[in-house]
Structure 1
Amino acid sequence: MKSSSLMLTAAACLVPCAALAHPHIFAEARLEIVADATNQITELRNVWRFDELFSASVVMDFDKNSNAQLDPDELKEVGQTVLDSLAEYNYYTTIMDNGKTVKVNKPDAIQADYKDGQLLLMFAVKPSEAIPLKGKFSFGIYDPTMYTAMDFPTDGDLVPVGNQLNACEHKVVRPDPDEVLSQNQASLTDAFFNDPTGTDMSKMFATRIEFKC
């Protein structure tokens, strides 16, 4: 494993009280939530575009032949590094199914690309258990260590795919962090601030799309 910032959240675990720190990495995200004809969620498709400063650091770490770009084999190594590193963090995926947290399975691969000075990561994950289109459920992308800021530039970057899913009532929710903190002070124990990865607080801060079917 390279000791580079590409390990994303792994670096944050070395920093005390990471939850109180500002994000060091910034990415714009797009998330497609896909449902099939059997009225179940089948996969979540992700596209992440990282800021130029972080992207440049990735080039420095993975550019083996020093040609100032990322060749196909180098991009493959980038994708594999992220694939291995983010398993511990559920690939930043927050799923709530009628009040229950649902994990995701490890994706087959993460495709990396480098365009216009920015690193792109593209991959799909599948829920670890069935999510029928019934009741209330939500989907979001969030780094539980708060080291990486994942932003959806527009509400249109959270996309339901499939006629059945589109027929459900849905809306994009963008929580105000200060409001979340003030409303949940009883849950914000010392354990949370000392080890944010050991809590389940991420779903409260994450920009998400909510469904009611």
Structure 2
Amino acid sequence: MRYKVLTIAALAVACLPLPALAHPHIFAEARLEVVAGDDGNIAELRNVWRFDEVFSSSVLLDFDKNTDLKLDARELAELGEVMRKSLADFHYFTTITLNGATVGVKKPDVIHTSLDGNQLLVIFAVKPEKPVPLKGRLTFGIYDPSLYTSIDFPTDGDLVVQGSGFGKCQHKVVRPDPDEVISQNSTSLTDAFFNDPTGTDMSKLFATRLEVTC
């Protein structure tokens, strides 16, 4: 049975043993814009994801209802709505922390999808589920905790802040060194991948993130 969107990860988590999930099957290049509001809080996180051609072709086959080998406006809207609903279980792959505490995100109003050549392009914005003031230490990241989807930021310029609220803040892109992460967390990583039947979100240790200090 073909999966419909990248959220096949949800089925994979339920049906496959954890060691099999230790490598990605779907690949995407991303851009993240963190926008400050006029009220001194984070307004929204804007996402652009470009998926690999293999996954994009499978999406085309699944949603091309009239079999004309392209996705029309109705089919693209259906794809976006399926993603909007099902990605909620994964918090839209979005992680926000404020002084070490995780903040969830609201469901986006819409997820826009299109085919750019042979690649699926996904654009949407999410808002924090509670106010996130521009004070203290903040981090922002996009990653799949199941490791089924690899989301890569090709350059540091693909993680940016926007808005005058960041004027007194410092920010940097952090790309963790895998060898260092494994060395520092070898015991917990082993436990997470092989002994915990519920799964453990350790992929955040490897994920590229934007750190902001205000």
1:156, CA displacement in angstroms? 0.6
Indicate the residue corresponding to 2:161 in structure 1: 160
For structure 1, the 5+ residue unaligned runs are none
Task: Give the 3 Å change call, closer, same or farther, for CA 19–124 of structure 1 in structure 2.
Answer: farther
Indicate the residue corresponding to 1:112 in structure 2: 113
> Is 1:180 matched up with 2:181?
yes
Equivalent residue letter for 1:190:
D
Indicate the residue corresponding to 2:147 in structure 1: 146
1:192, CA displacement in angstroms? 4.5
Secondary structure (helix, strand or coil) at the match of 1:188 reads helix
Secondary structure (helix, strand or coil) at the match of 1:122 reads strand
Task: Give the 3 Å change call, closer, same or farther, for CA 197–35 of structure 1 in structure 2.
Answer: farther
Determine if contact 2:83/2:111 at 8 Å carries over to the other structure: yes
1:102, CA displacement in angstroms? 0.8
Secondary structure (helix, strand or coil) at the match of 2:68 reads coil
Task: Give the 3 Å change call, closer, same or farther, for CA 19–89 of structure 1 in structure 2.
Answer: farther
> Is 1:15 matched up with 2:39?
no
1:31, CA displacement in angstroms? 0.5
Distance 1:196 1:123 in 2: 33
1:87, CA displacement in angstroms? 0.7
Indicate the residue corresponding to 1:95 in structure 2: 96
Indicate the residue corresponding to 1:35 in structure 2: 36
Determine if contact 1:8/1:148 at 8 Å carries over to the other structure: no
1:196, CA displacement in angstroms? 8.5
Distance 1:5 1:39 in 2: 36
1:43, CA displacement in angstroms? 0.5
Distance 2:168 2:197 in 1: 36
Superposition pairs of residues 38-49 of structure 1, within 5 angstroms = 38-49=39-50
Provide TM-score, normalisation by structure 1. Answer: 0.91
Distance 1:16 1:155 in 2: 34
Distance 1:160 1:152 in 2: 15
Indicate the residue corresponding to 2:136 in structure 1: 135
Determine if contact 2:28/2:152 at 8 Å carries over to the other structure: yes
RMSD: 2.0
For structure 2, the 5+ residue unaligned runs are none
Indicate the residue corresponding to 2:60 in structure 1: 59
Secondary structure (helix, strand or coil) at the match of 1:132 reads coil
Distance 1:138 1:207 in 2: 10
Indicate the residue corresponding to 1:85 in structure 2: 86
Identical counterparts, % of pairs? 61
Deviations 1:110-147 (A, max 9, x none): 11111111101111101111111111111010000001
Task: Give the 3 Å change call, closer, same or farther, for CA 59–207 of structure 1 in structure 2.
Answer: same
Secondary structure (helix, strand or coil) at the match of 1:127 reads coil
Task: Give the 3 Å change call, closer, same or farther, for CA 20–147 of structure 1 in structure 2.
Answer: closer
1:84, CA displacement in angstroms? 1.4
Determine if contact 2:171/2:213 at 8 Å carries over to the other structure: yes
Distance 2:146 2:200 in 1: 10
Distance 2:146 2:73 in 1: 30
Equivalent residue letter for 1:143:
D
Distance 2:23 2:192 in 1: 19
Task: Give the 3 Å change call, closer, same or farther, for CA 112–24 of structure 1 in structure 2.
Answer: same
Deviations 1:76-128 (A, max 9, x none): 11111111111111100011110101111111111111111110111110111
1:193, CA displacement in angstroms? 4.1
- The range that moved more, 144-153 or 21-30, is 21-30
1:165, CA displacement in angstroms? 1.3
